[in-house]
Amino acid sequence: MSDNRTQYLLDASRMPKHWYNIAADLPQALPPVLHPGTMQPIGPADLAPLFPMALIEQEVSTEREIPIPEPVREVFKLWRPAPLFRARRLEQALGTPARIYYKYEGVSPAGSHKPNTAVPQAWYNAQAGVKKLTTETGAGQWGSSLAFAGALFGIDVTVFQVRVSYDQKPYRRALMETYGARCIASPSNETQAGRAALALRPDHPGSLGLAISEAVEVAATHDDVKYALGSVLNHVLLHQTIIGQEAMLQLEMAGDDPDVIVGCTGGGSNFAGIAFPFIGQQLRGGKKRRIVAVEPAACPSLTRGKYAYDFGDTAKMTPLTKMHTLGSSFTPPSFHAGGLRYHGMAPLVSHLKELKLLEAVAYHQVACFEAGVMFARAEGIVPAPEANHAVKGAIVEALRCKAEGRSEVILFNLCGHGHFDMSAYSAYFAGKLTDQSYDESELAMALAGLPSVAA
Ligand SMILES: *Cc1c(COP(=O)(O)O)cnc(C)c1O
């Protein structure tokens, strides 16, 4: 047998026709979302200024299967079904008896899992007659994904990009512009939230929370503009479940069943995408597996955050959700996995952690790049800095299997390629990539400033 990775190709006719909604199988419902002014549970109408009704319905739905519209499936055929690989050379390099599989989402036009939700979000907006969307982006993955989707359906896209990533990753901006979007460094002078942040700190590096404030402010103050979010929300996680559903079919073809599933977590969407269909099986009486979320040690919401009601943005404009949070005023240090620099975690992922249906670990960036380079040399694909966290998590599991002499099956999500992140790899090879620690006193202050919500 060849040493090369084995590819499990799924015929396009077997691409899932439904998204999987884990809300249908939860043993306890999610805590309600609260209005930022009244602190009372919100209803669909409260979200109508920001999102089209079809997406709001998905946000609150408890239907197990939600159909993927035919035009969206047609676009997905540009890159889906995405491949699943067995990482034979990585297994050999590690000398592990474990069988390691990875689902590769870097084959999408933007190079990550994000178009899986950008395309349906743009489509539902276009169906509702929306012509302009605003959004935020960290590393630029989400901004370029929405820019691509906007180009498909004739929607003007404006992207607020976190300043530090805007400066570190000029090619992502070029990609957004190639797809026709306008890209602005955040904090910017275009919104009140941006101007307030710049007044406090002219060299503000920005944060996802702040960029969200800017994008939401523009949508909330303009009737003809809606807002799109690339992670965290229930409907975004829903759209990503096509990843895990495809992986399930592909693992069936491989004749294997995962014991451990690993994903990296920024806001939680690619992790939910690979894990939720499997967790759902377990909740309906199926096999119990270990589900491992890997986050950056410099922005550790799941492992160091508090499970509490908090705002999704820095300017406290969004509704409050119960989630693992470092506090909406927390600004994480400027490490290279820009897509993981968010203060909170998806309410659904947070809820499942509280229900002990998943585990979380945190690693520093140098160890993650080391894992990513080892992966690239074995498998050929250069992972995105975010994906390096999942690679690291999978390697830790594979080495545990080696130490324990167990031939477990490990599945992880390789959520994107790193072709736009080579400056981070250059920094790593030059020895200039260092492990950033967050400021403990800033975290304590941000946590102390969490909104008080009556139980
Ligand atoms: C945006 C992004 C992430 C983080 O977002 P999640 O919602 O946690 O998936 C991770 N990896 C890549 C490649 C990204 O683009």
Chain segment 54-110, per-residue pLDDT in tens: 999 999 999 999 999 999 999 999 999 999 999 999 999 999 999 999 999 999 999
360 and 295 in contact (C-beta within 8 Å)?
yes
- Residue 53's identity, in one-letter code, is M
Contacts of 152 (CB under 8 A, 6+ apart): 75, 119, 122
Closest-CA residue, ligand 1 atom 5, reads 266
Q: Tokens 């933007």 — which residue?
A: 110
Number of helices (H), then strands (E), belonging to the chain: the values are 18, 15
Contacts of 105 (CB under 8 A, 6+ apart): 82, 112, 113, 116, 243, 270, 413, 414, 415, 416
* CA atoms of 144 and 118, how far apart (whole Å): 9
Which of the 8 DSSP states describes residue 344?
B
DSSP 147-214: HHHHHHHT-EEEEEEEHHHHHH-HHHHHHHHHTT-EEEEES-SSSHHHHHHHHH-TT----HHHHHHH
Q: Which residues of 21-51 are buried (b: 16+ CB within 10 A; e: fewer)?
A: bbbebbeeebbebbebeeeeebeeebbeebb
Contacts of 433 (CB under 8 A, 6+ apart): 336, 365, 366, 369, 424, 427
Q: What residue ranges do the domains of the chain occupy?
A: 6-14+68-111+235-448
Closest CA to 370 of 291, 431, 300, 301: 431
Strand 225-227 vs strand 260-264: parallel, antiparallel, or unpaired?
A: unpaired
Instruction: Tell which CATH classification among 1.10.8.100, 3.40.50.1100, 1.10.260.40, 3.30.70.3270 matches the domain 6-14+68-111+235-448.
Output: 3.40.50.1100
Give the atom of ligand 1 at the shortest distance from the alpha carbon of 105.
Answer: 13
Q: How many CA atoms lie within 13 A of 17 on its CB side?
A: 3
- Residue 445's identity, in one-letter code, is M
pTM recorded for the entire structure:
0.96
> From ligand 1's centre to the CA of 20, what distance in Å?
19
> From ligand 1's centre to the CA of 339, what distance in Å?
5
16 and 89 in contact (C-beta within 8 Å)?
no
- Low-confidence spans in the chain with pLDDT less than 50: none
> From ligand 1's centre to the CA of 11, what distance in Å?
26
Bridge partners of 226? 133
Give the atom of ligand 1 at the shortest distance from the alpha carbon of 111.
Answer: 13
* CA atoms of 21 and 18, how far apart (whole Å): 9
Closest-CA residue, ligand 1 atom 14, reads 339
> From ligand 1's centre to the CA of 436, what distance in Å?
19
* CA atoms of 368 and 331, how far apart (whole Å): 21
Q: Is the CB of 117 under 6 A from ligand 1?
A: no
Q: Is the CB of 263 under 6 A from ligand 1?
A: no
Closest-CA residue, ligand 1 atom 10, reads 386
- Residue 384's identity, in one-letter code, is A
